[in-house]
């Protein structure tokens, strides 16, 4: 059974939740950037975002600041499905980052007025590759690889969240234009409380979902 860490950060919206769990096969490495003061994790992490469809979009940001943040944004793609848009922070509005290695897992969708996104991220232990500063898919400077390392056993990892109220977008465009958030906040996760066991000889197949 997975040990899942879940936070409902807004007391006025208790059905808005964020969850994380990490396989015990993950470990720390500094080989990507030996000069980092913080050990960098290695291996996939799993996230779950839930919200009522009265919210037009919700987001979960990973990192201490917008400049180097990985941001998961979820909105309705249709009456029964959701869009996952991984975006990088930077100096301007977050933009879709095609370099993010993320998967929307089976089990995600919209049921009984609730959006659910269950996500596997392969490269969430540091900032995703930076996007160009110009061009149709560009963002401001930021998101450089190695800019924000995350420790697998971090007791106080930095995250932030936001949402906008409104009618469903009903868009499968990962680069859809979004309105300004109505509510935002910060939270801290103790990743030691978010682990699950992978048996000896077992393999985390691509579609594995620890939330089901």
Domains and CATH numbers, the chain: 5-196 (2.60.40.1210)
Instruction: Return the higher-pLDDT residue of 165 and 140.
Output: 165
Predicted confidence band at 137 (pLDDT cuts at 50, 70, 90)? Answer: very low
d(CA 64, CA 69): 7
- pLDDT given for residue 134 in this prediction: 53
Does this model's pTM top 0.75?
A: yes
Closest CA to 56 of 204, 164, 202, 184: 164
């Amino acid at each position: 059974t997975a040990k899942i860490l879940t936070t409902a950060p807004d007391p006025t919206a208790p059905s808005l939740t964020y969850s994380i769990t990490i396989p015990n096969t993950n470990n720390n490495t500094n080989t990507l950037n030996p000069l980092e003061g913080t050990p960098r994790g290695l291996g996939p992490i799993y996230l779950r975002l839930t919200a009522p469809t009265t919210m037009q979009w919700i987001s979960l940001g990973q990192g201490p600041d917008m400049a180097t943040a990985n941001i998961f944004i979820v909105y309705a793609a249709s009456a029964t499905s959701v869009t996952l848009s991984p975006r990088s922070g930077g100096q301007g509005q977050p933009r879709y980052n095609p370099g993010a290695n993320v998967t929307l897992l089976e089990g995600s969708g919209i049921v009984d007025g609730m959006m659910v996104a269950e996500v596997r991220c392969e490269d969430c232990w540091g900032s995703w590759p930076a996007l160009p500063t110009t061009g149709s898919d560009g963002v401001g400077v930021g998101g450089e690889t190695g800019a924000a390392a995350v420790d697998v056993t971090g007791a106080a990892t930095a995250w932030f969240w936001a949402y906008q109220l409104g009618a469903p977008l009903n868009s499968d465009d990962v680069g859809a234009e979004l309105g300004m958030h109505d509510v935002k906040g910060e939270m801290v996760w103790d990743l030691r409380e978010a682990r699950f066991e992978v048996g000896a000889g077992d393999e985390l197949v691509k579609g594995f979902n620890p939330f089901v």
